[in-house]
Amino acid sequence: MRRHLILSLLLFWIVCGLGNSPLPAQPPASDLESLEERAFKQAAALMNPSIVRIETVGGQDRVGKLITGTGPTSGVVVSRDGLIISSAFNFIGKPSSILVTLPDGRRFPAVVVATDHLRMLTLLKIEADNLPIPTAVPEKDLQVGMWSIALGRTFELDQPSISVGIVSALERIWGKAIQTDAKISPINYGGPLVDIQGRLMGILVPLSPGATGETAGVEWYDSGIGFAIPMTDVLKVIPRLNTGKDLHPGLLGITLSGKGDLSTEMNLDRVRYGSPAQEAGLKAGDTLIKLNDKPVALHSEVKSVLMSLYAGDTVSLTVTREGAKEPLTFKATLTEKLVPFESGFLGILPVREAQNQTTPGVGVRYVIPDSAAQKAGVKAKDQILEFNQQKVTSAEMLAFLVNHLRPEDQASLLISRDEKPVKLDVKLQKTPDAVPAEIPTQAIPSRTAQENKTQKIKAGHYKEKLPGSDSSYWAYVPENYHPDYEYGLMVWIHPPGNTMESTIFNEWKSICEQRGIIIVGPTAEDVIRWNRDETEFVEAVVKSMQQRYDIDPTRIFLLSHADGADFAFDLAFKYRELFRGVAVTEGSLKSRPPETDPDYPLSLYFALNAHNPLNQLLQPRLDLIREMNYPTVFQLIKNDQQPGEYPEKPFLEEIGRWADSLDRI
Amino acid sequence: MNQAKLIKPILICICLLGALLVPVHRLDASSRETIQYALPRLVKIFGAGGVKNLYGYSTGFLVSPEGHIATIWSPVLDTDQLSVVLHDGRRYEAEVLGAEPHLDLAIIKLKSERDLNLPYFNYEEKATAGAGTRILGFSNMFRVATGDEPVSVLHGVIEARTDLPRRRGAFELSYTGDVYVVDAITNNPGAAGGVIMTYDGKLLGMIGKQVRNAKTNTWVNYSLPIDVLSKSIRQIVTGKFESSEDQNEPEPSIVERYKPIDFGLVMVPDVLFRTPAFIDTVLPGSQVAQAGLKPDDLVVFVNDELIKSCKTLKSELGKLEAGDTVRLVVRRENQLVAVELQVPPEKKIKE
C-alpha cells in the first residue's frame, strides 16, 4: 500500500510536469506574487531611513509654461554629516527657504550647496550627524528587466510612497540615466530608485533626450518613461558639487554636417568662433574619427560622449584633414558658454548691378556716416577690388569676408578711385544699432507695364494661391519692375484676426516703389491666428516669389505688427538662410533667439509707441538680443497715436531705409 | 491483479488532481484567479453626458445578488435612461437608489422582474492595505470594452494610503478622507466607479473621479477605501440611509480671529503669489519680542503646519482660539528656532 502511495505521488509529480521541467521548481503563482510583494515592501523599508522630505517656501510660481508645484518633494541622504541629494527640478522656482524633515520627524533648515545642470541634481546640506547612508547597487549588477522600485516621501512621513516597475533601459539620455517604467512624477523626483534588495540604483529626475531645459521631461510624468541618474555617477559628482560650484553641460563649439542622430557625415560643418574647438585648432571641413580615443561614426555616438561631459572636462578629438597625411589629435577643454559671434562691419552699401553688368570689384553706392569705411577714407563711387589681399568679385564675397571677421579687426582694402588704385587700412566696427537719417535710393531703369506684360511678368497688386494650397497670398510688384535688377522682398505677416492688406498696400506702396522692394502678404488659413504648421506655406510663398522675380537674397525681410510678431520670429529663426531681417511694430520678441550665425546675419527692427505697456517687456529682451550680438534697432514712437495703432508714414520710411540697407557690408 | 495494482495509484492521482481544480479560497488566490472572480462583478454604466469633458459612461460594481451596484456619484447618473451592461453583454435599465455625495458614492439598482442572482462583491469585508501592496484596477476606462466584453484590468502597487486631501484646497474633491494613491494609471475617463483589489482578491476601494493634485499640479490616481464606503453602501442597499450630509455641521465659515499684528508681528509686504513669511518688525514689548523673535526671521511652521507664504501664515494664525498655545518655528540664518506663545484673548470686533 505504501508502495502504491509513493508510486502515485511520483506519477502525480510527473503528470504535473514538474519532474522534468527544464526550469528549477517555481513556487505557485500566488506564492510568488506574495513573495514579490513582500520584497517590494522590505526594499522600501530598507531604504526608508535615508529618504527625506523636502519642503520649500516662497519662490516663483511659474517657470516658463510650467506652474511649479508647492507640494513636498523627496531627497536621499548621501553623507552621515548631512549632505542630501535631490532633483534640481524641486528647486526651479528658486525658493527662498528649504526645509528638510527626516523620517524620525526632526526638521532642519537646508542650504543649496550646488546644482548639477547636466544631470539635473541638487546637493543640499543640513546640520545633522549620524545620518543613515544607503547602500548603492554596483553598476555591473544593473540589468534591463530587473525590478526597480521608485520611492518618495511626499505623502506620509513615516512611510515612503512606493511605485514598482522594471528597469527599461540603461545609459539612456546620452548615457546619463537608467530608464524605468515605475511611475515617476513630482511626487518622487529626488527620491531613490532601488532594486528588489533595497539597494540604491539611482536618484529620480525628469529628463528628456531632446531638450535640456530645467523642466524638460516633466511632461512624461507617470507615463512609464521615467529616469534616474545612476548612483555611481551621483557619487562621482558629489565631491565636485560639494565644493559649492554649480556644474554645467560642457560645450565644444562644433556642428557636424548632415542631420539627425543616425547621420554618418562626420565633417565639421562649423567651428564656432572663440569656442574650445577653435582654440584647440579644429577647422571647418575636418572629419571627426575619434572622440576620447573611441572611434565615432554616427552623430549619436558623438552626442553620447559630449552630452555627458561637464564644462571644464577635457575631451580629445582625432580628425583627418585635407592635406594632412596623418590624422591629427587635439585636446579641448569644454566651456559653459560659447561667445556669441559678432560680425565685423565695414559701413558701405554696394552698388546693385544689373545682371549683365561686369565691373571689376564691388562698387560703393553709399558710405554710412561714422562707419569704419568712412574713417578709412572710402567714398561713394569707389570700386573695392581687394579685401585683405583677396580679390573680391562680388558684393556677396566681400560680405562673406567681412562678416567672418570681428569688430576691431584690421583689414586692408585695395580700391580703384577714378581708375587709380588706392590702398586703405580699415579697422572694422560693430554693426550700428541705428538707421542712417538718409539713404539715397538707387535708381533702377524703369520699365512700362506694357513691356512687362509682353514678357508675361505679372506686376501690380494681385491675389493668388499656391498650386495645391488652400491658403492664399497677395503681392504688390512695382509696376515699373525691371527683371534685370534684383529687388528686395518684404514678407508681410499679418497679426491674428486681420490681414491689414489695404493698410499695408496703401502705406508701403510708394516706399517700396522708391526702394525697389516687392511686397508679398501670405494669409493664414484661418485669419484668426497663424498655425505653426503654416511656416512651410510662407516659406513656399517666398520661394515661389524668388522663382518668379529677381530677388536679392540679402534683402528678404519679414514685416509684422502687434501679435503677428510671434509668427514672424518663428519664421525668421526657422529659416535662417532665407530671411535677413525682421521688422516689428507694436510687438515684442517672446522667446530667446538662437545664437547668431555669421553665415546668416539677421537684423532686427522694433518700433513701439511710448505708451505701449509692452515697453516694459521689450526692454530686457532688447538687452538680451543685443548681448547676443543681433544688430537691433529700436525706435520709440512719441506722438498722439494710440498704442497698438499702425505707425504713421515717417516711421515707416525709416523701416524702408533699414530694409534698403540690409545688403550693407 | 497487476491491473488492479496500477488502477489504484491512477485513481489516487486523479483525486489529487481533482483537489487542485477545486476553487481555492480567495485569500490565497493568484492574480489570475482574482481577475476571473472580479470581472463578472463589474458593470459598464451608460447615462447622461457625452459633451465637452463630461463622459457619458462610467463603471460600477455589483454589491448584491439582486443587482445593487455601487458607483461614482457623477452627472452620468443624471438621466431617466440609465443603462447597465454586465460583463456578458446583458443589458438592463437601472435607477438611482440613493447617493452619498460626500463620499462620491451612489447606489443604483437594475430594473428586473426576475430574480437575478448575480455574482457580487462582499463590501463588508472592509479590507485595508499599505504602501507596496500589489493591486489590480478594474474599470470601463475609455469605453474600450464594448458589448459583452468585460472591463479592463490594470496592475500596480499602492503608493500610499494618505490623508493629503484633508488639507483644504489640495484636491478639487468634495471627499476629505483617506484615499489609496496607486501607481497604476487607474483614473481615466469612464474609470470612476471601478474597483481596486489586492492580488489575492480583497476588495480595497472604488476608483474616484479624475482630479489634479493642486500641490504638484499632476493628475492623481486614487481610490476611495472600501472601509470608508461600506457603511453607506449597506445603508442605501437596505434602505436605512441617513446621509452624512444632513448630519454634518455646516462648513465653519473661516473667521480670521487673529492677525500677525495681534502677536506683535509685522510681516513684509505681501506682494507676490507666494511671499515668504519674513518678519519685518517685531513690536517692542510684544509677546513675540519677549519670546526672542527678530526681524528677518522667516516663519516656517505654525503648530507643525508648513507656512509657505504670508497668506498661509495669516490663515493659520487666524484659526487659533483664545488661550491656545501656539508653537512658532522660524528660520534664522541656518537654524530653526522654536518659540511657544499663548494666544491672547480675542479682541471685540467693533461694528
Query: Tens of pLDDT along A393-441?
Result: 888 889 888 988 888 999 999 999 988 999 999 999 988 888 888 888 8
CB-based contact A155 B132, cutoff 8 Å: no
Complex ipTM: 0.81
Nearest to B136 by CA among B266, B17, B32: B32
pLDDT value at B175 more than 60: yes
pLDDT at A4: 55
Residue listed under C-alpha cell 511657544? B340
pLDDT at B179: 93
B27: nearest CA partner in chain A: A30
Q: Tell me the Cα Rg of chain A.
A: 33
pLDDT value at B165 more than 90: no
pLDDT value at A553 more than 50: yes
**Contact (CB, 8 A) for A225 and B222:** no
CB-based contact B160 A127, cutoff 8 Å: no
Mutation target among A55, A97, A159, A196 for the B interface, most CBs of B within 10 A? A97
Q: Name the residue facing B157 among A40, A61, A70 (closest C-beta).
A: A40
d(CA B45, CA B60): 7
**Contact (CB, 8 A) for B326 and A76:** no
Range with the largest mean pLDDT of A24-38, A496-510, B236-250: A496-510
**Which residues is A307 bridged to in the sheet?**
none
- Identify all chain A residues contacting B275, using CB atoms and an 8 Å cutoff: 58
B297: nearest CA partner in chain A: A97
DSSP, residue by residue, B76-106 = GG-SS-EEEE-TTS-EEEEEEEEEEGGGTEE
Nearest to B283 by CA among B260, B258, B265, B267: B265
Q: E strands within A351-437?
A: 362-367, 383-387, 390-391, 410-417, 420-427
- Identify all chain B residues contacting A217, using CB atoms and an 8 Å cutoff: none
A100: nearest CA partner in chain B: B336
**A29-44: per-residue pLDDT in tens?**
778 998 999 999 999 9
pLDDT value at A72 more than 50: yes
**B188-210: per-residue pLDDT in tens?**
999 999 999 999 999 999 999 88
pLDDT at A643: 87
**A307-341: per-residue pLDDT in tens?**
999 999 999 999 999 999 999 999 999 999 887 77
**B55-109: per-residue pLDDT in tens?**
799 999 999 999 999 999 988 999 989 999 999 999 999 999 999 988 999 999 9
Query: What b/e sequence results for B97-119 when a residue is b if at least 16 CB atoms lie within 10 Å of its CB, and e otherwise?
Result: ebbbebbbbbbbbbeeeeebebe
Q: Tell me the Cα Rg of chain B.
A: 28
pLDDT at B253: 53
Q: Hey, what's the cell of A490?
A: 518684404
B345 against A36, higher pLDDT: A36
Q: Span B180-187, mean pLDDT?
A: 95
CB-based contact A159 B16, cutoff 8 Å: no
CB-based contact A107 B336, cutoff 8 Å: yes
pLDDT value at B52 more than 80: no
pLDDT at A331: 97
d(CA A189, CA A154): 10
Chain A (403-432) residues lying within 8 Å, Cβ to Cβ, of chain B: none
pLDDT value at B126 more than 90: no
* Alpha helical stretches, state H, B78-179: none
pLDDT value at B19 more than 70: no
Classify B32 as helix, strand or coil: helix
**A180-235: per-residue pLDDT in tens?**
999 999 989 999 999 999 999 999 999 988 777 778 888 899 999 999 999 999 99
Residue B53's pLDDT band (cuts 50, 70, 90): low
**A373-399: per-residue pLDDT in tens?**
999 999 999 999 999 999 998 888 898
Running DSSP on this structure, what letter comes out for residue A663?
Answer: T
A186: nearest CA partner in chain B: B216
Residue A12's pLDDT band (cuts 50, 70, 90): very low
B2: nearest CA partner in chain A: A4
Q: Share the mean pLDDT of chain A.
A: 89
DSSP, residue by residue, B215-282 = TTTEEE-EEEEHHHHHHHHHHHHHT----HHHHSPPPPP------GGGGTEEEPP--STT---BEEEE
Q: Name the residue facing A44 among B132, B218, B336 (closest C-beta).
A: B132
Nearest to A206 by CA among A223, A230, A189: A189
Percent of chain A with pLDDT over 90: 61
- Identify all chain B residues contacting A46, using CB atoms and an 8 Å cutoff: none
d(CA B286, CA B300): 20
**B253-265: per-residue pLDDT in tens?**
556 788 899 999 9
Q: Name the residue facing A8 among B12, B199, B216 (closest C-beta).
A: B12
pLDDT value at B30 more than 70: yes
Residue B309's pLDDT band (cuts 50, 70, 90): confident
pLDDT at B316: 87
pLDDT value at B347 more than 70: no
- Identify all chain A residues contacting B309, using CB atoms and an 8 Å cutoff: 57-58
CB-based contact A163 B32, cutoff 8 Å: no
* Alpha helical stretches, state H, chain B: 2-21, 31-38, 226-238, 244-247, 287-291, 310-318
Q: Name the residue facing A58 among B16, B134, B275 (closest C-beta).
A: B275
d(CA A148, CA A166): 5
Q: Span B262-270, mean pLDDT?
A: 90
Q: Span A169-178, mean pLDDT?
A: 94
pLDDT at A345: 92
d(CA A381, CA A417): 8
**Contact (CB, 8 A) for B135 and B223:** no
Q: E strands within A117-154?
A: 121-125, 147-152
User: How many Å is the maximal CA-CA distance in chain A?
Assistant: 129
d(CA A57, CA B101): 35
- Chain B within 8 Å of A394 (Cβ-Cβ)? no
**Which residues is A558 bridged to in the sheet?**
A491, A582
Nearest to A185 by CA among A206, A207, A161, A214: A206
Q: Name the residue facing B162 among A11, A156, A163 (closest C-beta).
A: A156
Residue B26's pLDDT band (cuts 50, 70, 90): low
CB-based contact B132 A127, cutoff 8 Å: no
Residue A361's pLDDT band (cuts 50, 70, 90): confident
Q: Span B43-59, mean pLDDT?
A: 84
